[in-house]
Structure 1
Amino acid sequence: MGLNVRILCWVCVSAALPLVVVAGEKKDEGRYLATPLKGDYYLYGGTLAEMTPPTQKDQKVAFMFKGQLAQDLFNRIGPDVRKADACSSARDYRERRRGDLHCVFTKDDGFSCYLGLNVPTGKSANGSIC
């Protein structure tokens, strides 16, 4: 292979390499540019206090969101509940509720929000016990 051919190959590879790296690093934008969620969920029957295995007629799901979504929800449903009505009396504990949406903030754990869903009816439900 001649020197000019080697230089030409090297230039082509050098020009294409950044495009390959950028394409490999592209983030999945999700549906409609949606942001991925952080959190967990569990399916159950009965009540949160006395859970049973879910059945066809008694299925509920409890969601817990953390991170940016929880912080955004916490900030939008304000104000804090009175300390006397809160689920904890810890000094750094803050709690906000709106309907079945329940959000908390602690210095150690950050923001968390809880929401439940009654699957057969499609109606919201509590997602945490307090």
Structure 2
Amino acid sequence: MTYLAAVIAMLLMTHSHADDKGKWTGMNKPLTDATYLVYSGESGDRRPPTNTDRKLAIAIRGQAAKEIFDAIGPDAKGVTCSLEDGERMRSKGEVWCSYTPSDGYMCFLGFNLRTGKPHSGGTC
């Protein structure tokens, strides 16, 4: 299974890891609070996509992000993106998530569309 397929499967099936969500059905759930960007360059210096450089960044918020956050724990120690009290961060491979009391849960992932290889999809 390719890395992309594995990440997509994780996104679609994180429901099985939620103890309080009832019986797992294996059905896909809508992903309503997400955005994406196709770009070139690096995550911190994005530019318009080119014929030779195209990357995909995906940002997920809300309940889906919480389910991913819960599935990839534990919290990273000593890593923060903001100065907000209560911030929590978690990551597995190139998937990383954060929680802040002001913004809630957010997860980021990305792929190089020319090679299929994963990358973080976002920066602090």
TM-score, structure 1 as length reference: 0.70
Match of 1:100 among 85, 90, 94: 94
Task: Quote how far apart the aligned CAs of 1:86 are.
Answer: 2.2
Match of 1:124 among 101, 118, 121: 118
- Mind listing any 5+ residue stretches in structure 2 that lack a counterpart? 1-25
Mapping of 1:62-77 within 5 angstroms?
62-77=57-72
Task: Quote how far apart the aligned CAs of 1:127 are.
Answer: 1.1
Counterpart in 2 of 1:79? 74
Q: Which has the larger radius of gyration?
A: 1
CA–CA distance in 1 between the matches of 2:37 and 2:88? 24
CA–CA distance in 1 between the matches of 2:44 and 2:100? 23
Structure 1 counterpart of 2:90, one-letter code: R
- Mind listing any 5+ residue stretches in structure 1 that lack a counterpart? 1-31
Structure 1 counterpart of 2:119, one-letter code: A
The two structures, once aligned, show a CA RMSD in angstroms of 1.4
TM-score, structure 2 as length reference: 0.73
Counterpart in 2 of 1:21? none
Identify, as 1 or 2, the structure richer in helix.
1
Provide, for residues 47-102 of structure 1, a one-character-per-residue CA deviation record: whole Å limited to 9, x for no partner: 1122221112200011001122111110011111112x222332121110111111
- Does structure 1 conserve the Cα–Cα contact (< 8 Å) formed by 2:44 and 2:122? no
